[in-house]
Every structure is written in C-alpha cells, then in structure tokens.
Copies of this chain bind each other. A is one copy, B any other.
Amino acid sequence: MHKAQGIKKHDKYAVLLAGGQGSRFWPQSRILEPKQFISLYKKTNLFEQSLKRIRRLIPSRNILISSSELYRTQILEYARIFNIPRPNLIFEPEGKNTAPSIGVAARLIHLRDPQARVCMLPCDHLIQNEGQFLKIIDKALNICGDNLVIFGIPPYRAATGYGYIKVTKPQSQGVRSKGLYSVDKFCEKPNLKRAQRFLKAGGYFWNSGIFAGAADTFLREIGKHLPELHRKLENIHVNSDITRDWKAIKSISFDYGVMEKTRSLLMLKVAKIGWLDLGSWQAWDEIIPKDKEGNAFKGDIISLDSRNITALSQNRLIAAIGLENLIVIDTPDALLITKKERSEDVKKIVDILKANKRQEHYLHLTVHRPWGHYTVLNKGQDFKIKLVEVKPHRSLSLQLHKKRSEHWIIVEGRAKIIRGGKSYCVNSNESTFIPVSCVHRLINPDDTVLRLVEVQSGRYLEEDDIIRLKDDFERI
C-alpha cells in the first residue's frame, strides 16, 4: 500500500457535499438559504471557505460540487467565480442523504478517470489550521490504497453533539502507518455519561464525516452494501443522467449504508487542525468573541444588566433588560429566543413550521436570485409590494405572468425594459406598467445597481405564475 505514495496530482479529486439544509440555524438559515451559504462566523460562508480551502490542494477542474436543485443559483455563481467547470456541478432533484450523493460523484469521477482518488467533504465545518488539514487530506489520498479512509478527531471534551468512532488500540496490528487505525465500530451521538466514559477510556474519536478513497473503491463498496443504488449508478454516463430515476433512489446515509458495514475501512487521526462542526447555535455561540459580561451582540442592541446573551439583530432595535443565558436571533419575519443549552431544539420548531405548511422555514422575506434579489415589503389580498435590486449588467428572464400585472417605479439607477417586443429605458423617478400576459424583460444596462419598487396587482400573486421564455441562468 505504501507504494501508492506517488499518486499523480491530476488523479486527485475533491467533492464538496453542499446539499444540506441545516435547519438548526433557523431562523437565520432557511431551506432556500441553508447553513453553508450564510455567513455565521467569518465574513465568508462555510461553503465558500470549504471551496477556497480545497482549491489550495486540488485544482478547480478536479473539484466537484454535489448540491441540490434548490441551490443552483448560488452554486452557479460560485462556480463562475472559482472556475469550477460546469460538468463538475451536480444538482440533485431532491435530497436523498449522503450515500446517493457520494455514489453519483464517485461514478462521474470514475467515468472520467478510473485511477482517481477522491475526498468527500461536507461543508459545515470550521477549520482553523488549513495547512495541517490539507496535509492530512493529501496524505489520505496518497495512502488509502483500496481502503476507504475516514477522518477521526481526537476528542478533548465529552461532547454529545458528535458521532464517535471506536478504533482498535494503536499498538495492535491495526496500525498501518502513523495515525492510521483499524475501526472497531461506530457509535451514535452519546448522552453525557456515555461521552464521559468514551473520553476516559480512550480509543474513541469524533467522526468528522470526511471520507477519502479511490473512486473505484467507493463504487465497489456501494456495490457490495447498497447494490440497488449501484445498479442505478451504472446507468449514469453523464452528469445530466442523474435526474432520471432519482425519485426511485432510496434515501440513506453513506455512514449507515456503507461505512458501518465495509471491511475495507481505516481511520486517519486528524489532530491540531482546529476542527469544529457548526451543528447548532450553541456550538457557534461557544466560539464567537464575547464582551466582559459574556455578551455577544451583532446589530442594533441596547442591553441593561444582561449577561451571557448572544443576540443578532438584522434590521430592528432589540432592547434587553436583566436577561441571562439566552440566544436571540432576529430576522424580518421570525424571531428566535432560546435558552442556550436548548438551541438544538430549533429543529423541533422547524418541524412544526413544516407540518403547518408555513413559509418561515422555507425562505426569507429577502430572496436571492442570480440577477440580484428582492424583498417582499407587504402583501394584501390583491397586491404585493417588492423592493427589487438588479446587479449591474444582469437581466431577469424574458417572461410573462398570466394572472398579474406589475407597476415598476425606478428609485435608483436605470432600467432597460423589453415590453411586447419594444425596448425602452426608464430612469430614476420614472415608472412603467406591465399588463397581464405581456411578454417583458427587465435589464440593468449600467455599471451601477438598479433598484425599483414593484407593485403586483392581481388575484393570484405567487412566484409560480411566471412563464420564462429566455433566461441567462439555466432556469427554463
């Protein structure tokens, strides 16, 4: 196996697994704006951090992004910025957990390069020591041979928020290389007592959810343990094939479906990389900087005698008097106030919202589009008011609405309008009208932002009343 040290750079691949929804960061995260795309800790979001990091090791052409149809817009934008080729982008029609995602990525890579070695990277980790992290990834790609390698973090506290990996003792025959262990078994998230026992006993590691191996090995092990999935993967010859049959694919995690069953498994110990799984508001709260009273305030907050309060305000004043030990997350349409140690239960709130078919877990009042964004300011029975912002030189699709007309008042910049085959410009402090069923297009022809107020009028005002005839962003 050690002879494999000299794997060629062009055979090394990375897959960013960026399809998750991260409901534990509600109300900041929404299904349409999941954890990996919001800036929770640094100025950049977790997806961007992951992408930038892995590019230091793996060239853009060898990086695949496995995500969801829901995040097409964001992924296309990042792919453009970071030169990820279009065939490297996988948009799943719906989430089927990690085994199908990993299978599809391994299949596409294997078709391209049968010698390929791949690391599968979730995008919800903070990693402080990037150099060390990349060294370990590279080591795993070099030494994995025909094994799957999982990355284990040495625990330094009795954490209950992670799964654990139990290894056979390092001095036993399991040691194949420095830091490499045979895996005894996987343990689900333990309670505190059990976690304390793990910590005391030694030989337990946190499961980072990062895997490495040859594309061939991934497929072979899926073939052994998930033969049904494997048969479906064999039908895939190009990226676009994945949408066929996707509905029939069973939802299952790679951990449960393959890792817990395979005999070709090693664990690589990953020490000193400053790894943190941002799995809850509390986990995030533990790492952000605090003031003398233990408070962390972002936004417009006035506090009197409050301690250990973490509060985020987006666009309103929050006044806090005599509070202790709370997390307060304020967004335009939903407010969360939770005791810190209960923040995992945000998931239950999201489940309630889903069950009640509400909107607050699905999207924000501000919705990002490839051409810019809009914010719903108000709606009544027969009208909806939006503030719309179009980026320089971007266009909305050529479109029509069957059930609504639209009034546009330009408040900043200049709009080029195509309406019923004619083209004209509308300046700031001017307005125009788009009647029902009229084919139209809104274009920002300039180098500066275009901002307008849209007043929709009609009996039906949902987003699905849009017939796109031409689009710059693959939305037809």
9-residue interface stretch from A50-58, A181-189, A207-215, A404-412: A404-412
Flag if B382 contacts A411 (CB, 8 Å).
yes
Asked if A316 is an interface residue, CB under 8 A from chain B, the answer is yes
CA distance A336 to B304 in the complex (A): 11
Flag if A342 contacts B319 (CB, 8 Å).
no
- The residues of B that contact A360 with a CB separation of less than 8 Å are 317
A residues at B contact (CB < 8 Å): 27, 302, 304-305, 313, 316-323, 326, 328, 330, 332-339, 341-343, 345-346, 348-349, 352-353, 358, 360, 375, 377-378, 380, 382-383, 385, 387, 405, 407, 409, 411-412, 428-429, 431, 433, 451, 453, 455, 457
The residue in chain B whose Cβ has the minimal distance to the Cβ of A327 is: B321
Flag if B322 contacts A342 (CB, 8 Å).
yes
Flag if A337 contacts B334 (CB, 8 Å).
no
A426 to chain B, nearest CB (A): 12
- The residues of B that contact A377 with a CB separation of less than 8 Å are 377-378, 385
A417 to chain B, nearest CB (A): 15
4 extra interchain contacts, Cβ-Cβ under 8 A, other than A302-B353, A319-B335, A320-B337?
A313-B335, A319-B349, A323-B338, A335-B335
Flag if A323 contacts B339 (CB, 8 Å).
yes
Q: Known interface pairs A304-B348, A375-B378, A377-B385. Does A431 touch B407 (Cβ–Cβ under 8 Å)?
A: yes
Contact of A27 among B319, B321, B382 (CB under 8 A): B319
A401 to chain B, nearest CB (A): 13
- The residues of B that contact A353 with a CB separation of less than 8 Å are 302
A361 to chain B, nearest CB (A): 10
Flag if B428 contacts A382 (CB, 8 Å).
yes
A-B pairs, top 9 by smallest CB distance, nearest first, are A322-B339, A322-B342, A321-B338, A383-B411, A377-B377, A429-B457, A317-B334, A409-B455, A319-B349
A321 to chain B, nearest CB (A): 4
Q: Known interface pairs A377-B385, A407-B409, A409-B407. Does A323 touch B322 (Cβ–Cβ under 8 Å)?
A: no
- The residues of B that contact A429 with a CB separation of less than 8 Å are 405, 457
A336 to chain B, nearest CB (A): 5
The residue in chain B whose Cβ has the minimal distance to the Cβ of A334 is: B317
The residue in chain B whose Cβ has the minimal distance to the Cβ of A349 is: B319
- The residues of B that contact A428 with a CB separation of less than 8 Å are 382, 457
CA distance A387 to B377 in the complex (A): 10
- The residues of B that contact A343 with a CB separation of less than 8 Å are 321
Flag if B337 contacts A328 (CB, 8 Å).
yes
- The residues of B that contact A320 with a CB separation of less than 8 Å are 337-338
Q: Known interface pairs A382-B411, A409-B407, A412-B380. Does A304 touch B337 (Cβ–Cβ under 8 Å)?
A: no
> A382, A385, A412: which has the most chain B beta carbons within 10 Å?
A385
- The residues of B that contact A337 with a CB separation of less than 8 Å are 318-321, 323, 326, 328, 337
Contact of A333 among B317, B345, B375, B385 (CB under 8 A): B317
CA distance A433 to B387 in the complex (A): 19
Flag if A305 contacts B335 (CB, 8 Å).
no
A337 to chain B, nearest CB (A): 5
Q: Known interface pairs A316-B333, A323-B326. Does A387 touch B382 (Cβ–Cβ under 8 Å)?
A: no
Flag if B382 contacts A378 (CB, 8 Å).
no
A373 to chain B, nearest CB (A): 13
Flag if B318 contacts A345 (CB, 8 Å).
no
CA distance A457 to B411 in the complex (A): 7
A381 to chain B, nearest CB (A): 8
The residue in chain B whose Cβ has the minimal distance to the Cβ of A341 is: B322
The residue in chain B whose Cβ has the minimal distance to the Cβ of A433 is: B431
Flag if B335 contacts A318 (CB, 8 Å).
yes
Q: Known interface pairs A378-B377, A387-B378, A455-B409. Does A322 touch B345 (Cβ–Cβ under 8 Å)?
A: yes
CA distance A412 to B378 in the complex (A): 14
- The residues of B that contact A375 with a CB separation of less than 8 Å are 378
A455 to chain B, nearest CB (A): 5
CA distance A272 to B382 in the complex (A): 52
A97 to chain B, nearest CB (A): 26
A192 to chain B, nearest CB (A): 17
A255 to chain B, nearest CB (A): 28
> A313, A323, A383, A428: which has the most chain B beta carbons within 10 Å?
A383
Flag if A302 contacts B352 (CB, 8 Å).
yes
The residue in chain B whose Cβ has the minimal distance to the Cβ of A404 is: B429
Flag if B304 contacts A319 (CB, 8 Å).
no
For this complex, 25 residue pairs linking A to B, each with C-beta atoms less than 8 Å apart, are A27-B317, A27-B319, A302-B349, A319-B334, A319-B335, A319-B336, A319-B337, A319-B338, A319-B349, A323-B339, A328-B337, A330-B335, A337-B337, A378-B387, A380-B411, A380-B451, A383-B411, A383-B453, A385-B387, A407-B431, A409-B409, A411-B455, A411-B457, A428-B457, A453-B455
